[in-house]
């Protein structure tokens, strides 16, 4: 007896593995192009295209003061609750901490041109910090 194997034909052609791999390679290349292009394009909108203003720096010889700066867009938390005194700093408003009952540190904070500034000192009072902040370049 001879064995006859039935042949079943399907309509259309079977997808070859080469065509399948080619589609995946094109999709992978497209995704990689999107990832690289997205990393190169700034996402901050008009702020990123605005001319960059250099950060303020302390004058030379000011050793009893610390100036801390960071981008304002990263300042997403409320200021510390002890900053309670409103002061005028460099044509804007800022907050200051006036130590009461022998506190050990004076602090001044304000935002200018997209940068948040904190000025701290153990030996100067708030009025000195405001004068120093107004003289920063």
39-63 pLDDT, tens digit per residue, is 776 655 555 555 566 678 888 878 8
CA distance linking residue 137 with residue 120, whole number of Å: 17
84-105 pLDDT, tens digit per residue, is 788 999 888 988 887 766 667 8
CA distance linking residue 117 with residue 71, whole number of Å: 9
* Neighbouring C-beta atoms of residue 35, cutoff 10 Å: 10
Alpha helix positions (H), the chain = 17-40, 46-49, 126-135
pLDDT score of 115 more than 60: yes
The residue extents of the domains of the chain are 14-43, 52-135
């Amino acid at each position: 007896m001879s064995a006859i194997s039935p042949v079943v034909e399907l309509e259309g052609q079977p997808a070859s593995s080469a065509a399948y791999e080619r589609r995946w390679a094109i999709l992978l290349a497209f995704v990689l192009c999107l990832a690289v292009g997205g990393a190169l394009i700034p996402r901050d909108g008009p702020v990123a295209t605005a001319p960059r203003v250099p950060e303020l720096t302390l004058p030379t010889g000011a050793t009893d003061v610390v100036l801390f700066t960071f981008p304002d867009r990263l300042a997403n938390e409320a200021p510390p609750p002890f900053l309670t005194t409103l002061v005028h700093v460099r044509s804007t408003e800022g907050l200051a901490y006036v130590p009461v009952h022998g506190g050990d540190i004076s602090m001044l904070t304000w935002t200018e041109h997209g940068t948040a500034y904190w000025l701290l000192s153990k030996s100067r009072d708030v009025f000195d910090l405001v004068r120093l902040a107004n003289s920063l370049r």
